[in-house]
Amino acid sequence: MASKIVYNENLQKLNTFKVEASAEAFLAINSIDELEILFSEISKYNEKLVIGGGSNLLFAGDYSGLVIYPQLFGIEKTNETQDNIYLRVAASENWHDFVTACLKNNYFGIENLALIPGTVGAAPVQNIGAYGVEIERFIESVECFDLQENEHIIFNHSECEFAYRESRLKNAGQGRYLVCYVNFILNKIATPVLSYAPLKKLSEDLARNQKEATPKNVYDWVCKLRKEKLPDPFVLANAGSFFKNPTVSSDKFVKLKNQFPNIVGYPDKSDEKIKVAAGWLIDNAGLKGKRVGNVAIHEQQALVLVNFGEMQGSKILDLACDVMQKIKSLYGIVLEPEVRVLGIDLAERSKLIK
């Protein structure tokens, strides 16, 4: 049976914050052909949102537009060389399950990204990253459906315009490009990445026991760290890291270091910039564990906002704004949300990031 657009759809089960919100219109699809068939109906909506796992969204109110919920599955090996494996992966595949399957098949490189919630299709949009690895390193191209032009389009790596937690698909392409498949190039030769600070203990332990690091070591260690520090969204509603790590000039960081000797920062890709750990800023400001009603800053990870049963996403947004105001007044740094905030008008949204 062909899919059809339905109205006033409840989105509570499709966002990991578990807040109540409704979509003006909603379309679940099982094939890209359905998008072509329904293009004239889809085109009636100026605002469009593609939802995968719903793990990087906060609905601060109802969504005035069309929500598209793709259900596209499948993993295909497209090429293989002595050193690399090429995989074409459908957008709705679970990300962590994909990472696990790659490790079992001796396809390496993305083990540092284990246990990140969400789908494969969301990975290039957000340019997900963790423990010293960003996914863009392993993406050859992204196959999309252009919801504006009613055509299939493939963006090669450079055309994706990847940056820190950003991409062409997230910025100008938000609501226009629906990710259908992601083409990955993974390694057949293991080269574990242990440079990120939380993995140094693993490196030290292995060296002490005269053992070589393996992708399985890294995968297990990352899973252990994430389970210890980050709440499971299926147990305690959250959307992972709510804020990006801000970038400041080297001069600004020196001044901050003089005032706060223990501040945590590391060089950005630009030698002139320093990326500051947002979690440290929030923790040092005494905000970790702060609770207002049924929403709170997690007790173990200051970057994560958690929901103990609040139905209004606006209450979570209020707490986020309180955090941002405190950080700005204390350090002179403006935090930006990593989570996409929806259901508020542009004027209200602009207040969030200024």
Q: Give the pLDDT score at 220.
A: 93
Taking domain 75-187, whether its CATH number is 3.30.465.10 is answered by yes
CA distance 141 to 79: 14
Where do the structural domains in the chain lie, given as residue ranges?
Answer: 6-70, 75-187, 237-352
- Dump pLDDT digits (tens) for 12-66: 999 999 999 999 999 999 999 999 999 999 999 999 999 999 998 999 999 999 9
CATH for 6-70 is 3.30.43.10
What burial letters (b/e) apply to 6-40, b meaning 16+ CB within 10 Å? Answer: eeebebeebbbbbbebbbbbbbbbeebebbeebee
State if pTM tops 0.85.
Answer: yes
pLDDT of residue 348: 62
Write down the mean pLDDT value for the chain: 92
Instruction: Give the 3-state secondary structure of residue 330.
Output: helix
57-59 vs 340-342, strand pairing mode: parallel
CATH architecture type of domain 237-352? Alpha-Beta Complex (3.90)
- All residue ranges of the chain with pLDDT < 50 are 346
- Is residue 24 annotated as a catalytic residue, yes or no? no
> Is 338 an active-site residue?
yes
Separate counts of helices (H) and strands (E) for the chain: 10, 20
Please give the pLDDT value at position 352.
56
Of 165, 168, 226, 310, which residue is the catalytic one? 165
Those residues whose C-beta lies under 8 Å from the C-beta of residue 38, and which sit 6 or more positions away, are 3, 4, 5, 27
Q: Is 43 a catalytic residue?
A: no
Show the tokens assigned to 232.
């499971």
pLDDT at position 165 is: 87
